[in-house]
Structure 1
């Protein structure tokens, strides 16, 4: 099974100690296959995916929303995910 599209996203981990507060950015990638979307810790069957949407925040980034039968999952992105979203919607129509 080959990768159809990729979308980089970030996960921000906040650590607080008695002395300081730190924010650590973990760079991750979301992958689209012909039958599923795979993230670092989750796998979504395309039959469960209802829609994908994007809300721009700031100058370059925003939030990618993955709407499924079970819930809505949000992913912080630094670049526009429109190519990834269009590829996903094409695959959803095929399945």
Structure 2
């Protein structure tokens, strides 16, 4: 198993108290290997990945979608994942 590409993403944790709401951003990294894609809490075998897509949201980033045989998973990204998607399509999806 070898690393092909990395993509930073964020997880937003919302904390609500009786007087305020606070959003906490946790920076994480998604890893594309020749056999699987790994995030902090999930592993997707390459055979289960059907496609990847990206949708720009506002001016600060967008959503990276992993289309899998078990559903679609979305990840908030602040930088374009085009390189990550291209590497997937070049090395995996042929």
Query: Could you say which TM-score interval applies, normalised by the shorter chain?
Result: over 0.9
TM-score normalised by L of structure 1: 0.94
What displacement does 1:59 show?
1.5
Q: Deviations over 1:21-45 (max 9, x none)?
A: 0000000000001110000000001
Q: 1:10 is paired with a residue of what secondary structure?
A: strand
Unaligned ranges ≥5, structure 2: none
Q: Which residue of 2 aligns with 1:20?
A: 20
Q: Which residue of 2 aligns with 1:70?
A: 70
Q: Which residue of 1 aligns with 2:81?
A: 81
Distance in 2, Cα, partners of 1:90 & 1:49: 14
Q: 2:52 is paired with a residue of what secondary structure?
A: strand
Q: Between Structure 1 and Structure 2, how many residues are aligned?
A: 94
TM-score normalised by L of structure 2: 0.95
Q: Please, what is the CA RMSD of the aligned residues?
A: 1.1
Q: 2:26 is paired with a residue of what secondary structure?
A: strand
Unaligned ranges ≥5, structure 1: none
Moved over 6 A (4+): none
What displacement does 1:89 show?
1.7
Q: 2:47 is paired with a residue of what secondary structure?
A: coil
Q: 1:47 is paired with a residue of what secondary structure?
A: helix
